[in-house]
Structure 1
């Protein structure tokens, strides 16, 4: 059945904007295909979450001009970076990338790190090979709209056998509710390469509500290792919809470290497709919900390769009237012998009105495998509180220590010290401490 929906832009207007921005014909057609699909497809069906009841009406207005890259950081961004001459940074402000810098040393090794729109112009065939091949437009209305409307974004390419020793960072800032804000992250790590990528989503204050409809696609080739860390702290007027996905080939590994610190409603998926033999995925997610937030987090690993391994840890703290649906899905396909998939979901509720629902799911189509899950939902352990208080610690301090200890397995793994400190501060702010 065809779903009737109001599109944020008409196909002819979209074609004109793409042409005026100098995009190649293949990208224009890709955008048009996305907007056509968006008119036909349904919203995604989520576990215990009715997206059709959410306000998803404002995807912003696409811009028709590109301001160009500058050496001036937008106001509000400087505190998130330690900008040096050899720093590696991409910054997007609303709809446009405004800053990109890659050290001469990495550029000489063949590393590409720039905004995705620039990469389309300068490395078009490389981008075309990978773009929208994991997060596919035909999946649902939101992925179709993303394919049509994406802007700014990041392209990171690491050649074969190149090891990048310093984290590469990007910042996405929205402070205008009228702007389309849909970054796309595209990472390709060739065989036996190493790289750490860190991003940070932030927002200013503005009138009206806006939808962030983003995506990340990560390609991990044979023997490559990618560490992907992401912290989202968008305001309560921003609905955050994000798909993070990777395909991992033989003996490759992906490590996800995700901090969900938003103030608005969120749908987040972090997926690893373990395609190759000996491929590995390690995903750690923390979330803090407050106010009347509605949150839906899914962490998933799909095993195709023999002796592939996945580990998933999700920890969430809910306060006030926040509600969270937390899904952990391990899927082991037929033929993925010796695969091992483990997952843990834990929810700590700080208020009688807060709600957390942990859903561990194992889908096993092969006999010779290992798989396990653990899930818990509950209040702060009063015995732990009393024990700490008996050592002269106040109740408030005791609760704080327990919460920080609960979240520590993820916070301590953030690969950029400055971002780790910021995440710690965000946790304190969200918890009202």
Structure 2
């Protein structure tokens, strides 16, 4: 197999060490498309106004041999013995228990997987998210680094969760992890994907892609938790292609402090394929978020559900787009969606845009959306039972988010998600309280 070398600095050139020819050709395809593509056009959000920096320097750390070498600030986010940690542009730790290795399960960084398992990676890589969709996907195809490859053979059920943790702690750093999950027929796996920045003043742009391929009768659960700091921008595409009788369950926590754009989509390709998308986000300060969840029904008798809950504080803004598309021929499909926004300040803004696109007659589809403030009658009732106003407001907010948080399959992950929600909400400020009492 022929290998190619490239530079370490991203400046319109490829920058990676030895890799297969097919992967270099794909990078060049993305690089060549850059001059002809535009930034994606988002509903009520202009990405041209965002301070999208150049990709930066490819910084790869020295590989650690043990989880014990991780600093305590990161260890507290580790939920599993089967995990991969990426720092900045490359892997820091890779660990998979011997039991799973014997079953044929693979968990490694994507660059290594492309060299060692090309027959498993090449048929799927950049096939759910395509390089030429827009400027962001082309940049990602050309410059992605590190990432993770998860492979589960046919009939194998991974009982314990796998985890990937991506973090950036240096500015002017290339941060473009790509996660590729391949679950063969009748297999099952749960992946906890965690993306964060570990320094308050670390300005970075995360251009991430996750591709999930669910084989016939397989089940994949994805918990995706993002918590980048205020000076960082998060641009994330998540996409699953689901075959006959397969199922993908997304549980997403958008806990970033800066500008965020995410697009999560399930393509229900096979008959009986199913999808469940649950997402929560908490806005604070002056941050802007544009969050899209999409389900495309292609196969017959394909069920889907979508629930998005947003809590908006201060001057934050969120655009929530829920899109259910039922293609011609997808008879028996059933697509449901709900978007709800709770605003805690008069200057906060939340727009819920439920969209149904139906090209088939014999289907079921429905949507619901609401935008509003804390119900004063609920506050009065709780305060009449001796609960303080601040505690009552917090309980109402946590109850508002509970339908999503309660679905977290792992107790440790649920506790961390709850902690992040509390951190973002903090003590409701007097301005918030005043607005709620009006």
TM-score (norm 1): 0.94
The answer to whether the aligner puts 1:151 opposite 2:145 as a matched pair is yes
The answer to whether the aligner puts 1:24 opposite 2:20 as a matched pair is yes
Spell out, residue by residue over 1:116-146, the C-alpha distance to the aligned partner (whole angstroms, 9 max, x if none): 1111121122111100001101000000001
Task: Please give the residue correspondences for 1:161-240 in structure 2 after superposition, counting only pairs within 5 Å.
Answer: 161-205=155-199, 207=201, 209-240=203-234
Spell out, residue by residue over 1:49-89, the C-alpha distance to the aligned partner (whole angstroms, 9 max, x if none): 111111112322224x6734532544321111156xxx101
Partner of 2:66: 71
Spell out, residue by residue over 1:244-282, the C-alpha distance to the aligned partner (whole angstroms, 9 max, x if none): 000001000000000000000000111000001001000
Partner of 2:32: 36
Check the 8 A contact 1:232/1:261 in 2, yes or no. yes
Spell out, residue by residue over 1:93-126, the C-alpha distance to the aligned partner (whole angstroms, 9 max, x if none): 0111110111111110111111111111211221
- Secondary structure of the residue aligned to 2:174 is coil
The answer to whether the aligner puts 1:160 opposite 2:136 as a matched pair is no
- Secondary structure of the residue aligned to 1:171 is strand
Aligned pair partner of 1:317 in 291, 311, 328: 311
The answer to whether the aligner puts 1:9 opposite 2:10 as a matched pair is yes
Aligned pair partner of 2:358 in 361, 364, 368: 364
Aligned pair partner of 2:324 in 314, 319, 330: 330
- Secondary structure of the residue aligned to 2:132 is helix
Q: Distance in 1 between matches of 2:65 and 2:114?
A: 19
Q: Distance in 2 between matches of 1:158 and 1:218?
A: 12
Moved more, 214-223 or 170-179: 170-179
Q: Distance in 2 between matches of 1:107 and 1:363?
A: 43
Aligned length: 417
Check the 8 A contact 1:177/1:206 in 2, yes or no. no
Task: Please give the residue correspondences for 1:382-401 in structure 2 after superposition, counting only pairs within 5 Å.
Answer: 382-401=376-395
Partner of 2:237: 243
Cα 1:177–1:354 change in 2 (3 A) is same
Spell out, residue by residue over 1:169-228, the C-alpha distance to the aligned partner (whole angstroms, 9 max, x if none): 111111011210110000000001011000111112264632100000000010000000
Q: Distance in 2 between matches of 1:180 and 1:70?
A: 24
Structure 2 portions without partners, runs of 5+: 1-8, 428-438
Partner of 2:256: 262
CA RMSD of aligned residues (A): 1.4
Task: Please give the residue correspondences for 1:271-350 in structure 2 after superposition, counting only pairs within 5 Å.
Answer: 271-350=265-344
Q: Distance in 1 between matches of 2:84 and 2:182?
A: 16
Aligned pair partner of 1:113 in 90, 101, 107: 107
Partner of 2:122: 128
Residue 415 of structure 1: how far off its partner (Å)? 2.1
TM-score (norm 2): 0.93
Moved more, 142-151 or 207-216: 207-216
Check the 8 A contact 1:167/1:415 in 2, yes or no. no
- Secondary structure of the residue aligned to 2:62 is coil
Q: Distance in 2 between matches of 1:158 and 1:267?
A: 30
Moved more, 314-323 or 198-207: 198-207
- Secondary structure of the residue aligned to 2:122 is helix
Partner of 1:3: none
Check the 8 A contact 2:264/2:294 in 1, yes or no. yes
- Secondary structure of the residue aligned to 2:123 is helix
Check the 8 A contact 2:202/2:229 in 1, yes or no. no
Cα 1:302–1:258 change in 2 (3 A) is same
Check the 8 A contact 1:74/1:93 in 2, yes or no. no
Check the 8 A contact 2:79/2:413 in 1, yes or no. no
Q: Distance in 1 between matches of 2:239 and 2:153?
A: 20
The answer to whether the aligner puts 1:50 opposite 2:51 as a matched pair is no
Moved more, 197-206 or 307-316: 197-206
Partner of 2:4: none
